[in-house]
Amino acid sequence: MLQIADLTYRIAGRPLLEAASLALPPGHRAGIVGPNGSGKSTLLKLIAGDLAADQGTVAVPNNWRIGRLHQEAPDGPESLIDTVLAFDVERGALLDEAEHASDPHRIAEIHDRLVQIEAHSAPARAASILAGLGFDEAQQARPCREFSGGWRMRVALAGLLFSEPDLLLLDEPTNHLDLEASIWLESYLKSYPRTILLVSHDRDLLNRAVEKIVHLENRKLVLYNGGYDNFERTRSERLAHQSAAHAKQLAQRRHMQAFVDRFRYKASKARQAQSRLKALERMEPIAAVVEARTVAFDFPAPAPMPPPLVTMDGVAVGYEAGKPILRGLDLRLDQDDRIALLGANGNGKSTLAKLFVGRLQPMAGELRRSSKLKIGYFAQHQADELALESTPLMLMERAAPQLAEPKRRAHLARFGLDQQRVNTQVGALSGGEKARLLFALVTHDAPHVLILDEPTNHLDVDARQALIAALNDYEGAVVLISHDPHLIELGADRLWLVADGHCRPFDGSMEDYRDYLMAQRRGSGDRGEADGRNGGATHTAAGRKERRKAEAEARARTADLRKATTAAEKRLEALNAKRAVLEKKLADPEIYLGPTRDLMALQVKFGELKREIAAAEETWLAAQAAMEEAGA
C-alpha cells in the first residue's frame, strides 16, 4: 500500500503540501486533480523520491518497483522494439547471463525465472504497446534516433508501460499523444494490473481509466471514489452543504451576538447574556467556501459573412512539389460549422489546417475564400515562440497597433490576463497563461474562423470547460485538432476523418469513432471471427463490402437523429453548468446580506433556468426515444 502521512513540502517558503495524508491500496488506479500550480507534479516527484519532504513520510512497500516517465527521450541506434525491450532490466540481465552461465543449477534457475516473467511473450507485448501508441511494424524496426522528440517520448512511454512497475506514476501522459493513441492508452490503463497514480487534465481519461480521484485542495489530499464526473458531483454537493451550514451558523452567531450586545449590562438579562457569550466562544466555526477563480474565455463576435467562407474543389496539398500529403479535397466551411479533424498524427491534420489558414497553397484543384475572411490560427508550438522578455501588453501592441491601450487591456482580460499579468514578462508566465495569451493574440481582430491545433495542452480541467463554453458561444466557424475527446464531443458537431491521403466526413459520434479504432486494431483475424459468428457469407471480401455498405446506409438513415440527440445532450450539459454556477451564487451567504433586488434577480434567473432545463430534458428524452425506435 502507498501511504502518505502528514506530508509537508515548501518551495521558497510557500507550502504546496501541508500535513497532507493519503492511503492507496495495491492495485488501485487514482487520478490526481487540482488547479495548475497546486503541486500535482511535485507530489509525484516526492513519491518517486526525486524530492525530499520537509515533514511527514511517503511509505512504499520495499519490493515495489516505481515507474515514472522522465523528461529525457531515448535516443540511439537501437530499433524501437529493442529500445522498449531494454526497459525490462531483469529480462535483459537473465538473457545475458543465460548465454554465459555454465552451472546447470543456475541455468535451470534462469530459465525458470524467464518462464515466470513470461519472457517468451515479451517481444509480442512490446510490439502491441508500440502499435497502440501509433508505431506500425516498419517503424518499430527503425532506429530510435530517426524519430522526432515527441515520437521518442512515446517510445519512452511504451517502455514504461512494458516494464509494468508496481507503482506507475504518470504526469500528463496524453500530452505527446494524438487522439487515437490517447484512446488506446485509456483502454490499456483501465486494465493495468497494478497501482497507478495519474496526473491529467483529460476528463475522459479520468473518467475511464481510474477508479478514484485524489483532489489536491488547500494543500491537502482528499480522496473521492469514482471517476472525474462523480468527483465533481460529490464535491459540489459537499461544498453546497458546507456553504449552507456556514450561512446558517453566521445567522445564528449574529442573533446571539445581538442579544449579548443588547442585554449584557442589564441586570435581569445579564446571566442569559453571559450564557450566550460562552456559547459563542465554544462554537466551532464552519469554514466559508472559497472557490478558486475560474479562468474565463470570451471570443469576440465576428462580422457576419455570406456562406461559404471557404470551398475546395479537387484540392491537393503538401510540402514538396509533386508529393501531395492530401489530395482530392472537396470541402466547404460555413460560419456556423463546428468541425473536429480526426486521424493519427502524420496523416495530414495540421497540413489541412495550414491550407485553411493560407500558410500552404494548393498544388492542384481550386480553393476559394472571401478576400475579407479573417482566420485565427492557434498552434501549440506558437506559445514556445513568444518573445520571453516581452509582456502580454507589448505583444498585443505589436499584433494590434490600431487599438488603443484600454482596448488592448480589455481584450487580454477576456482571457483571464488581469492587470498584473499583462505587465509580467512572458518568460515568467505559466504554460496555461501563455496559452491564454496566444488565444488573445490570434483573436484580436474578431476572426470569422478559429483553427485550433491542440489548444488544451496546458489548460486544467476547469479552463478546458471554460474553453468549451466559449467555443459554444462563439459566432464564427471552428476547426478543432485535439487529443481531448471531451473537447471534441462538446465543442464540435461534425467530424472529418483525415486518413490515407484524403479528408472525408465521419458519420457518427466520438463513441462510434472509438469503436472504429478498436475494430481497426483487432485486425483482419479478429474481424474474420466476428464475421463468422454472423454467418459464413461475410468471410468473403464481397460479403464484408456488403456489410460495410449496409452499416453505412444504416448510419445515414439515423444521422439526423444522432445529431439531434447530440445537440440535446450538449444543450442540457450547458444548462446544467449554468445551473451549478447559479447554485454556488445562491449558496454564498454574502448574497443574502446585499441588496434584495440582486437576490430576487438571481432567484428569477434560477427559476427560468430550471424551466429551460426541464424543456431540454424533454427534448433529449424525445430524441432518445426516436433513436431507440429507429434501432440506432
251 shares its domain with 394: no
Structural domain of residue 263, as residue ranges? Answer: 232-282
Q: Do residues 373 and 310 touch, judged by C-beta distance below 8 A?
A: yes
Residues 354 and 262 in one domain: no
* DSSP sequence for 329-370: EEEEE-TT-EEEEES-TTSSHHHHHHHHHTSS--SEEEEEE-
- What confidence score (pLDDT) does residue 557 get? 56
Question: Does a structural domain hold residue 159?
Answer: no
43 vs 199: CA distance, rounded Å? 10
204, part of any domain: no
Helix (H) or strand (E) holding 30: strand 29-33
DSSP states of 377-427: EEEHHHHHTS-TTS-HHHHHHHH-TTS-HHHHHHHHHTTT--TTGGGS-GG
418-448 tens-digit pLDDT: 888 888 998 888 888 888 899 999 999 999 9
pLDDT at 536: 34
Work out the number of other CB atoms within 10 angstroms of the CB of residue 82.
Answer: 16
Say yes or no: 616 and 565 in one domain. yes
Measure the CA–CA gap between 325 and 347, rounded to whole angstroms. 8
Query: For residue 62, is it within any domain?
Result: no
| 581 and 466 inside one domain | no
Contact yes or no for 345/174 (Cβ under 8 A)? no
Same domain assignment for residues 498 and 585: no
Per the structure, the count of domains in the chain is 3
Please indicate, yes or no, whether residues 342 and 429 belong to a single structural domain of this protein: yes
Domain check: are 364 and 497 in the same one?
A: yes
Q: Render the burial of 602-627: b for 16+ CB within 10 Å, e for the rest.
A: eeeeeeebeeebeebeebbeebbeee
CATH number reported for the structural domain that contains residue 576 in this entry = 1.10.287
**Is 155 inside a domain boundary?**
no
Regarding whether 420 and 356 lie in a shared domain, the answer is yes
275 and 347 part of one domain: no
Q: Which of 488, 506, 524 is the last residue of a domain?
A: 506
- Structural domain includes residue 416: yes
Are both 319 and 413 inside the same structural domain?
yes
Residue numbers of the chain with a pLDDT score lower than 50: 289, 524-545, 547-548
Q: Is residue 118 part of a domain?
A: no
Compute the radius of gyration of the chain from its Cα atoms. Answer: 29
**Does residue 374 sit in the same domain as residue 417?**
yes
- Among residues 506, 521, 541, which one ends one of the domains? 506
Query: What is the C-alpha to C-alpha distance for residues 375 and 357, in angstroms, rounded to an integer?
Result: 6
CATH number at residue 398: 3.40.50.300
Q: CB-based contacts of 604: which residues, under 8 Å, 6+ apart? A: none
pLDDT tens digits, 151-205: 889 999 999 999 899 999 999 898 888 888 999 999 999 999 899 999 998 888 9
Phi, psi of 383 (to 5 degrees): -65, -30
Burial classification of residue 322, based on how many CB atoms lie within 10 Å of its CB (0-12 exposed, 13-18 middle, 19 or more buried): exposed
The answer to the question of residue 227 being in a domain is: no
Q: Are 270 and 332 part of one and the same domain?
A: no
Asked if the structure places residue 478 within a domain, the reply is yes
Q: Where are the alpha helices (DSSP H) in 534-558?
A: 541-557
Listed residues 264, 282, 300: the one ending a domain: 282
pLDDT at position 223, please?
92
Give residue 363's pLDDT: 92
